[in-house]
């Protein structure tokens, strides 16, 4: 059951000095937009809040499916990027069960993966997506981030595949530290010139992988990864961001109500012209 839909549509001009622009979101809660002499942006996003995680996942899948059909009808092919995380499980399970989706027209990528794990390690994001999605859509064209090879060469190769044509749909989440993909606060760059790069993972991000039961302890979590950059994600035509659970509440609050800043990389989603953020009640900042 949907509880609430919240929208924001406001243009922010160039700010100077200590000037601050304020906007209203999440009912009557106020967010501060920081002064930035070099950046103009429009905040135009939608937040949908659902009673349960299952309701949320079904709603995201329904919207993604509608957009897939629309793009396939208009363009003849659909280029999609998927996140690999437990937050995506309900959405993916619903999506792959839907009949008559144009998977034969889909070219699929994934957002990130670890460096240093064995190719068959179940924690690898490509393997997680193989189980939850890729193995169920055999007619799609799948581009996995390779598990073996020189990391910088993998980044260059994957960038070439990713950048060959525009991305139509991005299915993503938000991390406990506010990251999108593996763009953690210490390495996030809203103006990154690369599409794919090697990053160091911060400890909060790595601990989340333990808390999600992906690894037994922090020492087992790799310290480096390959990730799509923030500009690569933001270049997607439509973004569907799925964020369930109480452990994400602080990150969601920062993303929606704090400054647009790399201190919370997900805050940049507010500037995307076609982004919907789906929450369950537990993740909603004032839920």
Segment 48-68 shows an average pLDDT of 97
Give residue 15's pLDDT band: very low, low, confident or very high (50, 70, 90): very low
Determine the average pLDDT of the residues in 257-284. Answer: 97
> Over 90: is that where the pLDDT of 35 sits?
no
Q: Does residue 122 come out as left (phi exceeding 0), alpha (psi in the -120 to 50 range) or beta?
A: alpha
pLDDT at residue number 214? 86
Neighbour-count burial for 64-78, b at 16+ CB within 10 Å, e otherwise: bbebbeebbeeeeeb
In terms of pLDDT, which residue wins out, 44 or 276? 276
d(CA 8, CA 23): 8
Given a cut of 50, whether residue 37 has pLDDT beyond it is no
Give the pLDDT score at 17.
Answer: 23
Helices (H) and strands (E) in the chain, counts: 7, 13
Dihedral angle at the C-alpha atoms of 89, 94, 96, 98, nearest 10 degrees?
-170
Pairwise CA distance, residues 201 & 179, whole Å? 10
Name the pTM for this structure.
0.88
Residue 30 has pLDDT above 70, yes or no: no
The predicted pLDDT at position 110 comes to 97
- Average pLDDT in the 197-210 region? 93
Bridge partners (DSSP) listed for residue 7? 46
- Residue 142 β-bridge partners: 108
| pLDDT confidence tier of residue 171, bands split at 50, 70 and 90 | very high
For the record, the structure tokens of 281 come out as 């009640």
The pLDDT mean for the chain works out to 88
Q: What is the pLDDT of residue 1?
A: 77
**What is the mean pLDDT of the segment spanning 82-104?**
97
Over residues 110-126, the pLDDT tens digits come to: 999 999 999 999 999 99
More confident: 277 or 33: 277
Greater confidence (32 vs 232) lies with: 232
């Amino acid at each position: 059951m949907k509880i609430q839909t919240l929208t924001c549509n406001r243009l922010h001009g160039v700010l100077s000095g200590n000037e601050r622009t304020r906007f209203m979101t999440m009912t009557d809660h106020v967010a501060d937009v920081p002064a930035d002499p070099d950046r103009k942006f429009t905040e135009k996003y939608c937040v949908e809040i659902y009673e349960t995680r299952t309701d949320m996942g079904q709603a995201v899948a329904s919207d993604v499916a509608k957009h897939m059909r629309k793009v396939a009808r208009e363009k003849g092919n659909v280029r999609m990027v998927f996140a690999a995380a437990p937050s995506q499980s309900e959405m993916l399970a619903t999506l792959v069960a839907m009949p008559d989706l144009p998977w034969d027209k889909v070219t699929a990528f994934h957002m990130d993966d670890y460096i240093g794990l064995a190719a068959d390690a179940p924690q690898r994001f490509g393997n997680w997506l193989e189980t939850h999605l890729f193995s169920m859509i055999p007619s799609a064209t799948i581009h996995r981030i390779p598990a073996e090879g020189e990391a910088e060469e993998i980044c260059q190769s994957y960038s070439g595949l990713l950048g060959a044509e525009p991305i139509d749909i991005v299915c993503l989440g938000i991390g406990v530290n506010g990251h999108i993909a593996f763009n953690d606060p210490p390495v996030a760059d809203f103006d990154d010139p690369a599409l794919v790069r090697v990053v160091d993972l911060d400890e909060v991000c790595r601990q989340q992988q333990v808390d999600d039961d992906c690894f037994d302890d922090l020492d087992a979590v790799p310290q480096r990864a390959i990730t799509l950059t923030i500009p690569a994600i933001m270049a997607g035509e439509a973004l569907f961001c799925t964020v369930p659970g109480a452990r994400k509440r602080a990150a969601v609050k920062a993303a929606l109500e704090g400054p647009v800043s790399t201190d919370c990389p997900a805050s940049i989603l507010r500037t995307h012209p076609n982004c919907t953020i789906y929450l369950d009640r537990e993740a909603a900042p004032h839920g």
